[in-house]
Structure 1
Amino acid sequence: MMRKLRIGMIGYKFMGKAHSNAYRSLPMFFPDAVKPEMTAICGRNEDAVKLAASQFGWMSTETDWRELIARDDIDVIDINAPSNAHKEIALAAAKSGKHIFCEKPLALSLHDARDMLVAAEEAGIKHMTGFNYRFSPAVQLVKKLIESGRLGTIYHFRAWFLQDWIMDPAFPLVWRLQKDIAGSGSHGDLGAHLIDLAHYLVGEIDEVIGMSETFIKERPLAEVMTGLSAKGNKNAPKGKVTVDDATLFMARFKSGALGSFEATRFAAGHRSTNSFEINGSLGSVKFDFERMNELDVYFTSDDKDVQGFRRVLATDPPHAYAEAWWPPGHTIGFEHTFIHEMLEFTTAIAEDRQPEPNFRDGVQCQAVLEAVECSIEERRWVKISEL
């Protein structure tokens, strides 16, 4: 069994830091796992990427992703650059025989996402899409409850991802608000996570109908952008916001279950409320990532005098990943989902299987995203099979 994987990472800001932390932490807490070797990090700004390499623990730097991919001391290409760069980098990495980890959304369009999947499969490489919320122990518990039948027939999946970080009209026009770079706004950034959780837990979506709104049409041009923060002058020239600020849609699953989805960056007081509720014939579950170690569970089989939602703390065995972390009741955080994600990725490569979620899941998510956009434009129900 291989003992290490040499990583070349493209991107060094928000997700770059999260991925770097995961690579560094993985061998400490999962000593039997394949060790990621942080070989090279790549970014266009030479000074900034060198600083990131020093801070995060990378061995070398590149300023041209093509040179990174061409290196013979790299096994894996990790793509966490903006969405408009994903396809070109992934196609080149696949052609060179490198395994690929790519952040979501997989691409700017379903057509591009499908091209990426075809290239990866033809190259025979391993590929993974970065849907990290699957790897919360509480979400893993939901999966277990559904697959074991303890929630019965699933009737409803309702989900909402609420943020408020761009509510100020003077907040600068960052790349996430530009369609040609990001692909979409809250829909693709936040809604993509909800869609993947729905696919993972409930199954494929059959048809959708949606609506969206851009509340602030223009914003001052940004001077500095870092992750979800930015600096600018409110009196600076303005640019057009070309993505949605909020998108809501309803869905019907192939199983017959019904779904509702809400993604917005205009929910005052919600820093990052990523939540869902699932209702089945034998029970229900409620999850909120702001309290990610907890799951509210209800079973209809409980005696009537004690029926009600119970709080389950998913921090100790037999809950997923618990054996690697702290004593019972000692919680974990956002960064741990990435560590679990990288555990799946590196283990799958070592075991010669495709990791989950992979590019197929990324394509499936992209199909729903585009079906919702089509529905909004044409004001009708849209079947995923139409695309």
Structure 2
Amino acid sequence: MTPSSAESPRPTLRVAMVGHAFMGNAHSQAWRTAPRFFDLPLSPRMSLVVGHDAGRAAAAADRLGWEASSADWREAVTRDDVDLVDICTPGFTHAEIAIAALDAGKHVLCEKPLANTVAEAEAMTAAAQRAHAHGVRSMVGFTYRRVPAIGLARRLVAEGRIGEIRHVRAQYLQDWIVDPDAPLSWRLDKAKAGSGSLGDIGAHVVDLTQYITGDRIREVTGRLETFVKERPYPAGETAGSLGGGGSTTERGPVTVDDAASFLATFTGGAMGVFEATRFATGRKNAIRIEINGSRGSLAFDFEDMNVLEFYDGTQDADTAGFRRILVTEPTHPYVGHWWPAGHGLGYEHGFTHQVVDLVGAIAEGTDPAPSFADGLQVQRVLDAVEASSETRTWQEIPIDG
């Protein structure tokens, strides 16, 4: 980190971002926006964006506000004028980039899921622990944690407002591949994505429920299903161009799950029911979580993301009922830095809050959350669900610490 310009006395945090597609767009917006709405202890500088094509990386740099571009991620790791590497690439690349960056003394923000396999996640966590001894920080990008309504839910649970947790229900519902002729992409290739709905969206609700409850999943039993087993190649592409053997067949195999469902037991004894699917026709990005406790309940749906429903079971039965809380008050998590009460936030704000929390932790020398160890634990849950689907058995999950 270096002193910034005369306009700001704060030290500069020089950032390199690897990947500039969907997640890269969201992360870029966050790096631009965070210092303009929050009083950050460090001043982020968008130094370098990396893509696998030099021309498109240069265009992305110009469009998204990065100072320079490269077609080699190693430049982000080896440059002396980079303090933090932000990884927004497909899962199969995470381990190599993150480990190299951490070993080079760079802070790392890595998109979820942490890796494609438990072994990769373990190696990344070990690298993070090595780097931690030298003051280098790392974090996994589970941004839905930063939705204000989720933060309020966690606070209410921690305050004991719903009592002992007994039931956890979580769904992540999308429908973007309901059409059997939707083309193949890297997200449907196990070698690149690791898994389908389970890892891509199921990982989010695993993390969210553990975050809200403050508890961990200790065992699961589940089922994975691939409803459409072959899909057309994108226009102008073949198996060879997607990394296969060069076949010119019109359709190729889908090697990941389309849907996942599983039961879970939390360490505190709560029962969990989870579902993740890309085949919930009509649902675009519904993250639904309900938690029932001995004194009350909480319910959240991301498609109405500024609202948290709260049932206080201690109230008079004549007037008790679910209360609709509009989570836009300045006392709610993060909200005081934005708009007046009643003016809702959106999807992109979670990424901004992620930057705020990460930059604050780096400046304070504290550990940002979720850590790579947290990401590893989620990876173990995903792996256990997949193993359970294959064996039709309950699978235990190691709990570290």
Would you call these one fold, judging by a TM-score over 0.5?
A: yes
SS of 1:363's equivalent? helix
Check if 1:145 corresponds to 2:156. yes
For the 8 Å contact 2:40–2:356, the answer to whether it is kept is no
1:154 to 147, 162, 165: 165
Check if 1:103 corresponds to 2:111. yes
5+ residue gaps in structure 1?
Answer: 226-234
1:139 and 1:330 map into 2 onto residues whose CA distance is: 17
Check if 1:40 corresponds to 2:48. yes
SS of 2:268's equivalent? coil
**Correspondence for 1:23:** 31
**Correspondence for 1:207:** 219
1:314 and 1:223 map into 2 onto residues whose CA distance is: 44
For the 8 Å contact 1:136–1:292, the answer to whether it is kept is yes
For the 8 Å contact 2:131–2:137, the answer to whether it is kept is no
Q: Which amino acid aligns with 1:265?
A: R
Check if 1:170 corresponds to 2:181. yes
2:217 and 2:139 map into 1 onto residues whose CA distance is: 21
2:289 and 2:99 map into 1 onto residues whose CA distance is: 34
Q: What does the per-residue CA deviation read over 1:176-221, in whole Å, with 9 as the maximum and x for residues that have no partner?
A: 0000000000000010000001211221111100011100000111
**Correspondence for 1:229:** none
2:112 and 2:75 map into 1 onto residues whose CA distance is: 23
Deviates more, 1:79-88 or 1:300-309: 300-309
**Correspondence for 1:278:** 291
**Correspondence for 1:343:** 356
* Alpha carbons of structure 1 residues 47 and 24: separation in structure 2 relative to 1, 3 Å: same
1:117 to 113, 125, 145: 125
2:160 and 2:232 map into 1 onto residues whose CA distance is: 52
1:94 and 1:123 map into 2 onto residues whose CA distance is: 6
SS of 1:121's equivalent? helix
List aligned pairs for 1:274-353, cutoff 5 A.
Answer: 274-353=287-366
* Alpha carbons of structure 1 residues 110 and 168: separation in structure 2 relative to 1, 3 Å: same
1:216 to 228, 232, 242: 228
- RMSD, aligned CA: 1.6
1:361 and 1:32 map into 2 onto residues whose CA distance is: 25
Q: Which amino acid aligns with 2:171?
A: W
Give how far 1:67 is off.
1.7
Give how far 1:2 is off.
5.4
Q: Between Structure 1 and Structure 2, how many residues are aligned?
A: 378
2:95 to 81, 87, 92: 87
Q: What does the per-residue CA deviation read over 1:126-166, in whole Å, with 9 as the maximum and x for residues that have no partner?
A: 00000000001100011110101111000011000000001
**Correspondence for 2:62:** 54
* Alpha carbons of structure 1 residues 307 and 241: separation in structure 2 relative to 1, 3 Å: same
SS of 1:78's equivalent? strand
2:332 and 2:170 map into 1 onto residues whose CA distance is: 23
SS of 1:222's equivalent? coil
1:9 to 8, 11, 17: 17
Give how far 1:386 is off.
9.4
Q: Which amino acid aligns with 1:249?
A: F
1:340 and 1:223 map into 2 onto residues whose CA distance is: 38
* Alpha carbons of structure 1 residues 14 and 224: separation in structure 2 relative to 1, 3 Å: farther
For the 8 Å contact 1:206–1:384, the answer to whether it is kept is yes
2:234 and 2:97 map into 1 onto residues whose CA distance is: 26
**Correspondence for 1:231:** none
Q: Which amino acid aligns with 1:247?
A: A
Give how far 1:236 is off.
6.5
1:111 and 1:291 map into 2 onto residues whose CA distance is: 37
SS of 1:304's equivalent? coil
For the 8 Å contact 1:27–1:33, the answer to whether it is kept is no
2:368 to 349, 355, 360: 355
1:368 and 1:385 map into 2 onto residues whose CA distance is: 9
Fraction of identical pairs, as percent: 49
Scaled by the length of structure 1, the TM-score of the pair is 0.95
SS of 2:318's equivalent? helix
After TM superposition, the runs of 4+ consecutive aligned structure 1 residues lying more than 3 A away are none
